[in-house]
Structure 1
């Protein structure tokens, strides 16, 4: 039976029940947007159903929009209006709802999107034609976990707005502008991936710049050590290898750590490359860093001058490990690159929040292990008068596109000459007392 007076208020919805002696009833519900909405109730069911009746293709069709009290009167009217609009367009709202449900089930959360993108990124070739290193992938995962996941992981990708991204990235920038800049780059790539896979129509991170999230790039680091500063470091390393009376055990450097830092100075290589150096990579006076360990993903050859070979001979006498600089705790593993950074910071008294003003290098302007690489490059250019392009080759930097395309000359003899002259300069001016004499190293004709 249908009630004569249509339902128009929430109170009427709550009070509606089958007449005495009947087990079910239906009543029309007013809606200015369209007709055909009713409320259906049965005595054997606690919930009441919102029902929409419509004609499509000459057939009378009935669909349930939702149930009261989960769906209130206002919500039922909105759902009814949307369904009626689809009917006007000749679309069956039931099929539309099924398609929408399937789309919702296929939608990714940001957490799911990151895992999919990370797996894709780990295998995708970079500009150099090789996939990123495991270390780079691990850095992205750490960045996501620390700065982005806590506020983004549970959102559906399609619901993420530009405004939300700015808020999250500004929060990251308050802790570290550099990390916020890298987080922005991660999100751009990840959401491009989602756009290509039709999870979103447009990337909300597109057009965002570091300046817009308060992460404007700072001035690039230009710290490099002078010859006198490098000498102070070399001497501090020598002193820290012993245990003078009153020196804390934490201030002592292991042979592996001390010699690895010295090799950083002599070669200009990256700390990750030196830390994981293996004996099998060394052949007489050259060391070949394999592609899988090189940042450029290309094999890189380094000349080992006599002073560098002395360091390797000492290491060979002290260890049977496959690694040149083995870990103290496990000789079958190399020292961790971070241990080199920590050692350098400790010599400066800056390894902890509270600085140690008694540290041997505390008076020097702060520097990092990467600054040693910059120092070598600077000294090659300024003291040995080496042309910049050759320095870039020695640092294993990616060459300019035109050079990479048309010039494949390795220029090994010239590189070898620079490393040799640099080692001589280190021996005369850094590893020993230079006295009052000044030695000028002119550019070789090699």
Structure 2
């Protein structure tokens, strides 16, 4: 027997020399699978090593002298009892932790692992859990059953938030689906095999949802632009106050057709005024950068913004700090002045409706609106050169300018006979 194998005693373990490099391993004669590892810095740890299912498994039991030799031998025998039956103690310990995973822990794991999720999506998930499931955050997933889910869904609906109720349950369903694939027992089988949100589908309890279809009609555009101009005129400070920036933002949303967050996130480095191009980052598409043409009116807006540039964002925040946020208070002013109810997304929807009414090709509309072409087989053979999109973009701009009374160079189409 070599000098590294002996009966562990306090005197012998205390007298072990530091290794010359890395670490040294010593073996106990009493429990042969028990080892003591000592690092070059003098840290001593009890380790158990044994083959489990034809694979070497190493289990760290504890540090010496905090764990005594007798305690180490007792724990080693306990873990060996599992190992001889084919159970990996490391997996068993991990499984025990996973078994008690709470809703809050699952949410954080989900948001951490699904790194491609947009920040707004992550914020939305947290908001739904905090606002409607806060009393469940510390509750283990295994304790959330179908009855609880059905009752909570009904309660949110009865509180007058039908759409929120459905969204909260979609969020919860996504978390349980994630848990099914993420948390396993020591044999690699999922802990959470049932998704309690299926009760809502089984009982057909989902609240009815009507997709919003609001657009600005042709006859409303003059009133809308007048209200936007009135908002802009009320702004005497382009940096510290927001009305003028909001007015530019609203026009940019309408004339570009971009999503709200993609407009708010637009940076000057993504703008080419000399070539009339922009390269927005489409956050909904896993941060895809695309190139789009700028119509003449969009160039005018951007040149005006450039004169009062204060930071990297086209639509800078108050005091020049960061990017602008959703301007709900100022939009409410435009609504009050014009008498027209609308949201930022309604402006995008109006852009798309106008494009369709002007007989612009479906592929051009999809590209201008940053929609995916991936599901269309024919689209795979079409290379949408940016210059081919310039004429359709300008055509849409001309329509808006004519409808608003700013020019007479475009024919106004009666959208859905609603003008």
TM-score, length basis structure 2: 0.66
Change (3 A) 1:439 1:276: same
Counterpart for residue 193 of structure 1: 178
Cα deviation digits, residues 147-197 of structure 1 (max 9, x gap): 1122x2232222221111111222223342222222222222211222222
Counterpart for residue 427 of structure 1: 401
TM-score, length basis structure 1: 0.62
Which has the larger Rg? Answer: 1
Matches of 2:201 and 2:333 in 1, distance apart?
Answer: 32
Counterpart for residue 361 of structure 1: 338
Paired positions, count: 310
Matches of 2:363 and 2:155 in 1, distance apart?
Answer: 40
The Cα of 1:136 is off from its aligned counterpart by 0.9
Unaligned runs of 5+ in 1: 1-91, 124-130, 245-251, 349-358, 442-446
User: Tell me, what secondary structure is at the counterpart of 1:313?
Assistant: helix
Q: How does 1:267-286 map to 2 (within 5 A)?
A: 267-283=256-272, 284=274, 285-286=276-277
User: Tell me, what secondary structure is at the counterpart of 1:188?
Assistant: helix
Q: Which among 251, 276, 284 is matched to residue 262 of structure 1? A: 251
Cα deviation digits, residues 117-148 of structure 1 (max 9, x gap): 23222x2xxxxxxx111221111111111111
Cα deviation digits, residues 11-39 of structure 1 (max 9, x gap): xxxxxxxxxxxxxxxxxxxxxxxxxxxxx
2:216/2:347 contact within 8 Å kept? yes
What RMSD over aligned residues (CA atoms) do the two structures have, in Å?
A: 3.1
Matches of 1:402 and 1:298 in 2, distance apart?
Answer: 19
Counterpart for residue 352 of structure 2: 377
The Cα of 1:282 is off from its aligned counterpart by 0.7
Q: Which among 282, 288, 293 is matched to residue 279 of structure 2? A: 288
Matches of 1:313 and 1:106 in 2, distance apart?
Answer: 55
Matches of 1:367 and 1:112 in 2, distance apart?
Answer: 38
Counterpart for residue 396 of structure 1: 370
The Cα of 1:288 is off from its aligned counterpart by 0.4
Q: Which among 280, 296, 299 is matched to residue 306 of structure 1? A: 296
Q: Which among 175, 195, 199 is matched to residue 204 of structure 1? A: 195
* Matching of residue 140 in structure 1 with residue 125 in structure 2: yes
Counterpart for residue 406 of structure 1: 380
Matches of 2:361 and 2:97 in 1, distance apart?
Answer: 59
1:181/1:210 contact within 8 Å kept? no
Counterpart for residue 152 of structure 2: 168
Matches of 2:372 and 2:386 in 1, distance apart?
Answer: 16
The Cα of 1:408 is off from its aligned counterpart by 5.1
1:234/1:431 contact within 8 Å kept? no
1:264/1:274 contact within 8 Å kept? yes
* Matching of residue 347 in structure 1 with residue 334 in structure 2: yes
Matches of 1:135 and 1:312 in 2, distance apart?
Answer: 25
